[in-house]
Every structure is written in C-alpha cells, then in structure tokens.
Amino acid sequence: MQGNHNGENTVQSLVNDILSGLKNRLVKPICEENRNIAEKLDELTKLHKEAVLEFSSRFDTLEEKISKIPHLILGAFSEALNRVNGGNGGHD
C-alpha cells in the first residue's frame, strides 16, 4: 500500500505543479492586465467627467452671452436712432 500512496502523492504533486504553472503563466498576467485596464478606465472616466463639467460650464456661459445678444442689438439700434435724430431720443 505504501507504493500506491507514494504514487498518489507524486500525481498530486504533478497536478499541483501544473496548476501552479498555469496560474503563474496564464492567470496572473491576465489578472494584472485586467487591473491595468481597470485603472486606465477609472482615469479615463475621471477625465471624461471633468471634460463634461468644463463643457457644461462653457455651454452655460455661451448660453448666457447669446441671451444678451437681442438686448445688445436693440441697444445699438436705439443708440443709432438717437444719433440719427440728433441725439434727442427722437422726442422733438
């Protein structure tokens, strides 16, 4: 029986060595690459959020400036009419 037990230990040892080699050569590199990809994805997500916030801020500023354009145009027309009417505001 002792010989059979040693044979089982040898087979178990070989299986353990094979599994350890597979883990070190296949699983660990894949896990490391996945970790690197996850870190890069987190960084890109952060940069994307920052870009969206900056874009939103710029868009709000642009929207505010555009909303003032009609008032600026009306003011320019009013000023031009005043100049045409001799600066008296069109009131004779």
**What confidence tens digit (pLDDT) does each residue in 16-65 have?**
999 999 889 989 999 999 999 999 999 999 999 999 999 999 999 999 99
Cα distances (Å, whole numbers) of residue 59 to 31, 44, 45, 48, 51? 41, 22, 21, 16, 12
Alpha-carbon span 73 to 70, nearest angstrom:
5
Cα distances (Å, whole numbers) of residue 72 to 26, 60, 75, 76? 68, 19, 5, 6
Quote the pLDDT of residue 57: 97
Please give the DSSP secondary-structure letter assigned to residue 86. Answer: T
Please give the DSSP secondary-structure letter assigned to residue 91. Answer: -
Alpha-carbon span 3 to 16, nearest angstrom:
20
